[in-house]
Amino acid sequence: MQGQLRGPDDPVACRRLSFAAVLSPVVLVSGLAGSGCAPPPEAHRARNVILFIGDGFGMNQLALGLAYASEVEGRPLRMAELANTGSAGYAIPFSFERITTDSAAAATQMATGTRALTETLSVDPETAEPIPTILEWAEERGLATGLVANMRLTHATPAAFKVHATSRYVPEPELADQLFDEPEVEVLLGGGGRAMVPQGTNVGDSVPGLPGGTDGASNRSDDRNLIAEAEVRGYTVVGDRASLQAARGAERLVGIFAASHLPYVLDRSWEGLDDSVPTLAELTGAAIASLEGNEEGFFLVVEGGLIDYAGHDNDAGAMLAEILDYDEAVGVGFDFARAREDTLVLVTADHGTGGFSFTYGPGGPGPLPETVFPDYSAGPEMAGTRHLELLAAQRRSLIEAMPEVSSPATVDSVLAVIEEATGIRLTEEEAADLAEQLNAETPAPRDFATYYLDSSTVAVALAARKLANHTQVVWSTGGHTSEPVLLLGYGPGADGVLGIGENTRVHGIIRDALGWE
C-alpha cells in the first residue's frame, strides 16, 4: 500500500469515537469494523446516511464559496455551519497507482473502499471483477437508497454507486440498464433520459412534463423503455418541478429533468427554465421525503456535478452559482439531520478542477473604507468583494455564450458577447487579442496548453484569461487537480471524518456509522 495516510481500517480513528461510546464496555471488547472501530452501540448508530459529493469542488472552490457567502452576503456557508457543529477532516483524492484522479475512480473509491483505476466504475483494478458498493450493501440490508445529481445519472459519480463497468465511457444505454436493474434504487433524480427511452423517440415522449428546453432524442439503438418499465414496477415518474412537488413522499420515484445534464444554474435562468427545472436543494428535499419512511432507514447520494464542468470550462461565474446551489442542497440535508439524531451527513468532493484561485493584481491597494488610517499604501490590489460581485453578476455560462462570437471573431463581437454574458466590458486591446486567438487555426491558451485536452472548452479558457484582468481569477489547467478535499460530517459516526486520509475511508466511515461489520 502506497504512503502511510489514514485508510479504511486505520485503528487510530477509534480514538475519536464520541465520549459516551468510549465509556460503553461493548466498544472495548468487540472486533474492528469499518474505519478500524467497533460498531457504535445501537443508540449511537446512524439509521440514515446522506453523502454529498461536489464534483470538482476542490479547496479553492470551497474558498470561493466561503468568501462569497461571508463577504458579499454576510453569512456562513451551510456546509461551514455543518462543519462547525459536526466534524471536519480531509480526503486525499489518490487513485490506483496515481496521485490525481477522475470522478469515476474517486466515486468508486468512496463507494467500495478500495483504490480504483481512473475511468472505471466499481470494478477491481486487477481482476476487473465488480466490487459491491456501499449502496448495494444498503439494499441488501433493507435500506432504501437514492441517487440524486444535476448530471446524467449514468455519469461517473452517481453511476459508480450502482453500476459496474471497466469504462465509464461504455455506451450510456448499458450504464442505464444497470442503473435500473436489481437491486432497485428507490429514488433516481437527475438527467440522462436519452439512454432510458426507445430509439427514435424523445425523452419527453416518456417523461411527463419534461421541459422542451432540456428534452432531446434517445441515444438507444433498441426499443427498450426503462421509464415505462419503472412505471410498471410501481415507480412514480416526474419530469419537472411541479410534478416533483406533487409526487412528494412517493416511495419509489424516478425524476428525469433532462435528456443529458441539467443546465447550469445561470443558464436555467437565462433560458427561462427556473420554474420547470428543480434546484439541487429541491431534488435533495424530494429524495429525503421519499426515503425517510423506510423502516430500515436509507442511504442517499447527492452530486453537485456542474461545479466540475464550470471548472473544466474555466468559467468562474458559472462555477460560483453551482457552488452556492450545492451548498443549498447540503443545507437541506443538514437541516433534516439536525432535527433528529439518527442521520449521518457527509459532505465531500472527488477532486479539484481547473487550478482555480483568486490572486492579487497590479494597481493596488484598490478601494478601501475611509476609516483606513491615512497614507496607507500597498503595491498590489488584493482580491476582494468587488471581484466576488463581478462573478456573481454573470448571467450566462461562457460555454453557451462563446459560440455566439462571430466567425471569424471580431473585436465588436467579442466585446458584445462577453459583456452580455458577464456584465464585464473588456478593453479594446483585450478583445482584439482574444479575437486573434480565437481565429487561430488551433486556438489554445498561451500557458499550459498541454493541459487543455478538451478543445470544446478552449474558447472559454481564452476568454477567462482576459476576464482575469478584471476578476483577479487565475486558472492553470482544463483538468483535475491533486489537492486534498474537504470531508465534513454531522450526526452519528461523524467523528470518523477527523484527520487526513484517503477518500477510500468514506466507505468505512459509512459502514461504521451504520454498525455494519
266 forms beta bridges with none
Cell numbers 478535499 correspond to 485
The residue among 513, 499, 488, 517 whose CA lies nearest residue 10 is 499
- For the four alpha carbons of 488, 494, 496 and 499, in that order, the dihedral sign comes to positive
Inter-CA distances, 2 with 97, 115, 483, Å: 8, 11, 17
Q: What is the DSSP string of 207-219?
A: STT--GGG--B--
- Output the smallest distance, CB 259 to Zn ion, in A: 20
Q: Which is nearer to Zn ion, 34 or 56 (CB)?
A: 56
Q: Which is nearer to Zn ion, 240 or 308 (CB)?
A: 308
Q: What is the DSSP string of 463-510?
A: HHHHHHHHH-EE---SSEE---EEEEEESTTGGGG-EEEETTHHHHHH
- Output the smallest distance, CB 402 to Zn ion, in A: 19
**Which residues touch 7 (CB under 8 Å, ≥6 apart)?**
1, 501, 502, 504, 505
The residue among 330, 280, 329 whose CA lies nearest residue 82 is 330
CA dihedral 52, 336, 289, 511 (to 10 degrees): 50
The catalytically annotated residue of 103, 218, 243, 397 is: 103
Count of residues interacting with Zn ion (CB under 5 A): 1
- Output the smallest distance, CB 108 to Zn ion, in A: 14
- Residue 350 touches Zn ion, criterion: CB under 5 A: no
Beta strands in 343-453 (DSSP E): 343-349, 352-353, 357-358
The burial of 170, by beta-carbon neighbours within 10 Å (0-12 exposed, 13-18 middle, 19 or more buried), is given as middle
Contacts to Zn ion from residues 279-318, by CB under 5 A: 308
Q: What are phi and psi of 197, to 5 degrees?
A: -120, 160
CA angle 110, 114, 117 (to 5 degrees): 95
- Output the smallest distance, CB 124 to Zn ion, in A: 23
Give the three-class secondary structure for 274.
coil
The residue among 200, 250, 204, 199 whose CA lies nearest residue 224 is 199
- Name the residue number minimizing CB distance to Zn ion: 308
Phi-psi category of 499—alpha, beta or left, where left has phi over 0 and alpha has psi -120 to 50? Answer: left
Q: Which is nearer to Zn ion, 303 or 400 (CB)?
A: 303
- Output the smallest distance, CB 107 to Zn ion, in A: 11
- Output the smallest distance, CB 455 to Zn ion, in A: 16
Q: Count of alpha carbons within 13 Å of 49, Cβ hemisphere only? A: 31
- Output the smallest distance, CB 85 to Zn ion, in A: 30
Give the three-class secondary structure for 232.
helix
CB 13 within 8 A of CB 35: yes
The question of whether 103 is a catalytic residue gets the answer: yes
Q: How many residues does the chain have?
A: 517
- Output the smallest distance, CB 55 to Zn ion, in A: 6
- Output the smallest distance, CB 457 to Zn ion, in A: 11
The residue among 389, 292, 385, 375 whose CA lies nearest residue 333 is 292
Active site residues: 103
Contacts with Zn ion by CB under 5 A lie at 308
